[in-house]
A and B are shown apart, each in its own frame.
Chain A
């Protein structure tokens, strides 16, 4: 009996160890967004995106500080934080979701995988369920992930005064690119 319990414990620790090896994270992922209109293009970038991927469960999470976006014009940055995203009230934007067909990905081998990520995107106090395509690349044991998708400004309760509607696009392109480390 003692032997059996010991074996089981061993099995369990091995199992746990394996689970640990399947979690990847980053503290400096990149997320940029792009708004295009006839009058003005707005391009902003954030290099401090936090993200965790768990290949055992397929769960994936992102979080970023809204005031860590850099804009080409200082006035845009101020306006973004003060009037649109309201960083004081809503300091972070976050995503919590799952990667489809996670079992198809073999993290021990090099490869590029097209996956679909589904989950809740929370911006400006509004949470919306989204489903976006993403690419996961495994090369020499390193993991990186990228995605491009669009969100509508009005979906997240961000009001744009009519005086500047010509300068801010209705649909914003979001680009994510993260290189992960093994935990």
Chain B
């Protein structure tokens, strides 16, 4: 009789254990998978560029991005020029960016202003993450080379080029991008920048210029974000008559496309020209309207598909 009393609670207890064992084991497995895994922060910015400048985002591997950037004339050109929309000249940049790996991308582009070609490569050094590896920031390094192909006779007299002086067509830009996604909607980036300017497209008394960029992104909805971007040139190296570039933009993403409407005081579309050669001032109404269009294409798709299906 005593035995029976003992057996009954035990069997009830055992049944409970069965149900608990499932959940316990499940929890244990979940815990293991969470501590062994590193969760990388996704989409700190919507796109590989904030407005004019680079963001910490990279293109994924084998993705080609075709970019068309357009800058109209200044709002201060008045109603006769429809506030810059039918102002001439306008500036167009056409670029092709490509993701070599998920962490390294390259890009080439041509822009009409100063007839420049530029090429860059961007490599991710640190990626913001939580989990097994806890990293508070993302860091990327971007070197850019810009070559102006202006003919000697087209060079602006204000550049004060000596008649016998050799043309140095190349400018070099080194940027470190340090970014953090603070919340689902808000990200901030600081970009220390060093620029060695060419000697023919603008008058730079000091051809080595230091600047610090600050850029922010605030999401409004899943597909809409507001960006702001400012580059502060250290006063000692800033060319006289130039202003720091300030830009505001709205990003509209629709799966494969990014469309960006923006206002900025810069006409130039290469790092060297918008950071160090912006002559427009916001307070004089020199802000101008522009848009950026991006369309991405997945290359090597079949290969990749076969690859993951065999796993």
> Please, how many residues of chain A have a CB less than 8 angstroms from a CB on the other chain?
49
- Give the residue name and chain of the A residue nearest to B183 (CB): A88
Q: Which residue on B lies nearest to A26, using beta carbons?
A: B29
Residue interface mask A59-100, B partner, CB < 8 A = 1: 111010101001011110111011100011101000000000
Known pairs A74-B61, A74-B63; A183 contacts B42 (CB<8 A): no
Residues of A within 8 A of B298 (CB): 72-75
User: CB distance A52 to B33 under 8 Å?
Assistant: no
Interface pair A16/B42, CB less than 8 Å apart: no
Determine the main DSSP class of A at the interface with B: mixed
Q: Known contacts A47-B311, A83-B222; is A52 also within 8 Å of B39 by CB?
A: no
Query: Hey, what's the 0/1 contact readout for B270-311 against A, CB within 8 Å counting as 1?
Result: 000000000000000000000000001010010011001101
In chain A, positions 128-165 with a C-beta closer than 8 Å to chain B are 161, 163-164
B22 touches A61 (CB 8 A): yes
Residue of B nearest to A19 (CB): B18
**Which of A23, A27, A45, A65 interacts with B308 by CB under 8 Å?**
A45
B6 in the interface (beta carbon within 8 A):
yes
Expressed in whole angstroms, the Cα–Cα distance for A1 and B2 within the complex equals 10
A52 with B25, Cβ < 8 A, contacts A12-B14, A19-B14, A79-B255 known = yes
Closest to A79 in B: B255
Query: Would you call A82 and B301 a contact (CB within 8 A)?
Result: no
Inter-chain contacts of A47 with B (CB < 8 A): 311
Contacting pair B39 A67 (CB below 8 A): yes
Kindly provide the distance from the CB of B116 to the nearest chain A CB, expressed in whole angstroms. Answer: 30
Knowing A8-B10, A15-B14, A23-B25, the reply to whether A164 touches B42 (Cβ < 8 A) is: no
Report yes or no: A52 in contact with B26, Cβ–Cβ below 8 A. Answer: yes
Q: State the CA gap A81–B296 with chains docked (Å).
A: 18
Q: Known: A45-B308, A72-B305. Is A57-B30 also a contact (CB below 8 A)?
A: no
B241 contacts chain A at the CB level, 8 A cutoff: no
Whether, in the assembled complex, A56 has its beta carbon less than 8 Å from a beta carbon of chain B, the answer is yes
Which residues 23-54 in A have Cβ within 8 Å of B in the complex?
Answer: 23, 25, 27, 43, 45, 47-48, 50, 52-54
Please report the C-alpha to C-alpha distance between residue A60 and residue B43 in the assembled complex, in whole angstroms.
35
| Cβ of A167 to closest chain B Cβ, rounded Å | 8
Q: Are A59 and B43 in contact (CB under 8 A)?
A: no
Q: Does the CB pair A63–B30 fall under 8 Å?
A: yes
* B35 at interface by CB-CB < 8 Å: no
Q: Does A4 contact B (CB under 8 A)?
A: yes
B39 touches A25 (CB 8 A): no
Assess the A83–B29 pair: CB atoms within 8 A.
Answer: no
- B42-A75 in contact (CB<8A): no
- Interfacial chain A residues near B235, Cβ < 8 Å: none
